Structure 1
Amino acid sequence: MTDVNTWISDTVKGNDVVLFMKGTPTFPQCGFSGQVVQILDYLGVPYQGVNVLEADELRQGIKEYSNWPTIPQLYVKGEFVGGCDIIREMFQAGELQSHLKDNGISVREAV
């Protein structure tokens, strides 16, 4: 990885929804990452998962990039939305769904 901040910035800006997480969307390697994956999957939101366990500089770099100490981190349209607790609270209040829709991202409606 050449410059980790440039790579993170390009990834965040190049994808509508990005989840920096421990593990992958199909195999989360921490409970918090798993919760956010479940929420995004439930909503049917297409997203890019980035496994921060693949490189120490990536794991540290994303914390510095967002000025947020924990992982997972969710980005929507280049903007940091939050970590697991914030995403879970926004989802339960319906705010996450609204935020995604406001940014032009389709969300599966709850039945």
Structure 2
Amino acid sequence: MSDAQARIASIVNENDIVLFMKGTPLFPQCGFSSRAVQILDHLGVAYESVDVLQDMEVRQGIKAYSDWPTIPQLYVKGEFVGGSDIMTEMFQAGELQQMVDEAGVAKAG
């Protein structure tokens, strides 16, 4: 496992919810990342974000880690959920709220 893969695994496993995104929650750098942040904020959950634009190893490594080609990527309790489109579909169907409730994820403070 590469250093980047080990760092990614550590981040994913140490946080209930992790969003690998372009930019930050306060300043998303693409529309898909912005949509992902809006969904998580609407759910009112605490989450960790990782700006892949700040680390090219993580930017490439996360794609291999999840075997998913695009960013953003959402993880809940160590499990890969999907990207912005999947998050949107799950949110609209009420499935994302159910997932975070069942996972016992902390609410945002």
Q: TM-score, normalised by structure 2?
A: 0.94
CA distance in 1, matches of 2:103, 2:67: 23
Alpha carbons of 1:59 and 1:18: their partners in 2 closer, same or farther (altered >3 Å)? same
Provide the aligned length of Structure 1 versus Structure 2. Answer: 107
Match of 1:12 in 2: 12
Deviation of 1:6 after TM superposition, in Å, equals: 0.4
CA distance in 2, matches of 1:100, 1:106: 9
Deviating beyond 6 angstroms after TM superposition, the runs of 4 or more aligned structure 1 residues are: none
Q: TM-score, normalised by structure 1?
A: 0.92
Alpha carbons of 1:107 and 1:91: their partners in 2 closer, same or farther (altered >3 Å)? farther
- Structure 2: gaps of 5 or more residues: none
CA distance in 2, matches of 1:105, 1:8: 20
1:30-41 equivalent positions in 2, closer than 5 A: 30-41=30-41
SS state of the match for residue 28, structure 1?
A: coil
CA offsets 1:29-74 (integer angstroms, 9 cap, x no match): 0000000000100111110010000111110000000000000000
CA distance in 1, matches of 2:45, 2:27: 17
What is the percent sequence identity of the aligned residues?
A: 64
Whichever residue aligns with residue 101 of structure 2, its letter is K
Match of 1:27 in 2: 27
| Residue 3, structure 1, aligned to residue 3, structure 2 | yes
Whichever residue aligns with residue 87 of structure 1, its letter is M
| Residue 60, structure 1, aligned to residue 44, structure 2 | no
- Structure 1: gaps of 5 or more residues: none
